[in-house]
Structure 1
Amino acid sequence: MDVGVRMKQQTLALAAGFERFGRQTRRSEFLSQMDVVVPWSELVALIEPHYPKAGNGRPPVGLERMLRIYFLQQWFNLSDPAVEDALYDSLTMRSFVGIDLGREPAPDETTVCKFRHLLERHGLGRKMLAVVNGHLERHGLKIGTGTIVDATILHAPSSTRNKQEQRDPEMHQVKKGNQWYFGMKAHVGVDADTKLIHSAEATAANVADNRVLADLLHGEETEVWGDQAYQGKTEVIVARAPQAVDRTHRQYRTKLVCYPAIREENRVKSKTRSRVEHVFALIKLKFGFAKVRYRGLEKNRNRLLSLCALTNLLTARHHLMAVAGQSCA
């Protein structure tokens, strides 16, 4: 037999999934952890009142299955067609969702798109964040009295080569330093101790960071940290959180004068304020949300809020895994 033909033949181990040299990949390890830490029953109960019920037509796909597919999109930055292809291509993802291709096909991209629109239409991203934070609080991770506020730019396509022959009208451009950016801003309020996101908002990129400051505070703060974009907003902070001390950075230099004392104060404050950058690293680098996928602010706001909930679960995964292990022991 020709060597080339022999190379194409599949071994019984490969066909049955019992390869001799198989090992757990990072993706499978990550999904096995998320399978444990995500509060599936609570999130399903949140969405269930809005989900289609079985009737005379084709029965809807199981709600938890669609939620798992939606989370795969967020974790791996997949479009609707891409997540359908990934389910056919990846045994690990199919196992996570619970799809057996010997019995049924994976949900198509239209079904995935309709489920995503259902979440957007009912604003369930924000409610998901509240459910997850409630779940974390019941497991010993409570939002404290220190909040770090910050914002980051998420890019949007600036090309006009589309059906409308125009850029997204809800996105805007902004100049940062000597560079122009086009897109939206993700504003977050993060707990200073646990690095858990308790508040988030999305605006066009040209909206000043301090415009949404009040929306990022939960009201029980005793300290608020932020960069120089939030200086001079002490009245806003106190109005929202009467007991809060303003620890935002101050301008330490002008064109003519530099103030070393203020610069040193900013440096000390940065030891706490910089923790918010870890959150942005997860959202933008780990989960790939550095560029918007959808047109319009509302769709991207819902994605941001649901991704904030998943970011909190990833941040707290070791604690939740330990709690799960103790409960099973």
Structure 2
Amino acid sequence: MENLIPWSRLIAVIEPHYPKAGNGRRPYPLIKEGTLMDATIIEAPSSIDNKAGKRDPEMHQTKKGNQWHFGMKAHIGVDAGSGLTHSFTTTAANEHDLNQAANLLHGEEEFVFADNGYRGVEKRDELKDEPVDWHIAEGPSKVKEPRKHPQINKTLLSIEYMKASIRAKVEHPFRIIKCQFDFIKTRYRGLMKNDSKLAMLFMLANIARVDQILRA
């Protein structure tokens, strides 16, 4: 194995693109001036057919739209320029996205784009002094009426479309780990082991993204 893939050379390739597991900030060599943040739910087995006869106590259920989900949530901060994940946290599925926003900043960004689940983020005590321009999407109810008269509300809709197009990159790491790596359901009980699993998957997703950039 050492002859095929020398460990020191592999580490040299991986380390610059390795997101920090848990909740710390990590300077990132390819970071530009902005961060995109989002979260996704990862289902956990809801069966109680196990030795304890209980569902995983560290997972939780939450409602999204009209559907209930049981599992965990992965929160990520992504470089707006390259689309690489620079930080992430893991929580139970019922954790509000706003609670993890401060852990998804690397501290040097000038702007942040996020969906409407992060509305009010700039007023939170841990973030109100951050020198960051927040660009948060309006909720569906705020753009429902303007969409009926697009010519009259052209400016508002253009701004929202611009926000959505920039935020789109934050979905790519989720697509890679769920669709390409098939991590749509937790493999272990408890958050810690799944956190470590996700750290590896986001690191590999970064390498896949860098490969795409280099090929382009």
Decide whether the 8 Å contact of 2:59 with 2:70 is kept in 1: yes
Task: State which of 208, 223, 226 in structure 1 corresponds to 2:111.
Answer: 223
Q: Distance in 1 between matches of 2:73 and 2:93?
A: 5
Asked if the contact 1:283–1:308 (Cα under 8 Å) also holds between the matched residues in 2, the reply is yes
Unaligned regions of 5+ residues in structure 2, if any?
Answer: 148-152
Q: Matched residue pairs, number? A: 198
Which structure shows the higher helix fraction?
Answer: 1
Q: Give CA deviations for 1:22-80 in whole Å, capped at 9, x if unaligned.
A: xxxxxxxxxxxxx69x95244899xxxxxxxxxxxxxxxxxxxxxxxxxxxxxxxxxxx
Give, in angstroms, the shift of residue 165 of structure 1: 0.7
- Is 2:176 the partner of 1:282? yes
Instruction: Please report the TM-score for the alignment, with normalisation by the length of structure 1.
Output: 0.54
SS of match in other structure, 2:106: coil
* Aligned counterparts of 1:275 and 1:247: Cα–Cα separation in 2: 15
Structure 2 distance, partners of 1:215, 1:317, is: 27
User: Quick one: structure 1 residues 277 and 39, their matched pair in 2 at CA, closer, same or farther if it must change by over 3 Å?
Assistant: farther
Provide Cα deviations, 1:220-248, integer angstroms capped at 9, x if missing partner.
11110000000111134983773311111
Asked if residue 180 in structure 1 is aligned to residue 68 in structure 2, the reply is yes
1:273 equivalent in alignment to 2:161? no
- Name the counterpart of 2:45: 157
Residue 85 of structure 1 is matched in structure 2 by: none
Q: Which residue is 2:98 aligned to?
A: 210
SS in 2 for 1:149: strand
1:192 matched to which residue of 2? 80
Q: Is the 8 Å Cα contact of residues 199 and 216 (structure 1) preserved in structure 2?
A: yes
Q: CA deviation at 1:153?
A: 0.5
Larger Rg: 1
Quick check: 2:38–2:75 contact (8 Å CA) kept in 1? yes
2:10 pairs with one of 24, 31, 40 = 40
The whole-number CA distance in structure 2 between the counterparts of 1:144 and 1:240 is: 22
Give yes or no for the alignment of 1:171 onto 2:59.
yes
CA-based RMSD of the aligned residues comes to 3.1
From 255, 258, 276, give the equivalent of 2:145. Answer: 258
Structure number with higher relative contact order (C-alpha < 8 Å, ≥ 6 residues apart):
2
Quick one: structure 1 residues 263 and 208, their matched pair in 2 at CA, closer, same or farther if it must change by over 3 Å? farther
Aligned residue for 1:24? none
Task: Report whether the alignment pairs 1:239 with 2:127.
Answer: yes
Partners of 1:290 and 1:190 in 2: how far apart?
A: 20
Structure-2 change in CA distance of 1:301 and 1:286 (3 Å): same
Q: Counterpart amino acid of 2:72?
A: M
Task: Give the CA deviation at 1:320.
Answer: 5.8
Cα pair 2:14 2:203 within 8 Å, conserved: no
Sequence identity of aligned pairs in percent? 40
Of 295, 302, 309, which residue of structure 1 is paired with 2:203? 309
The answer to whether the 8 Å contact 1:219/1:241 transfers is no
C-alpha distance in 2 between matches for 1:298 and 1:207: 16
Task: Give the SS at the match of 1:188.
Answer: strand
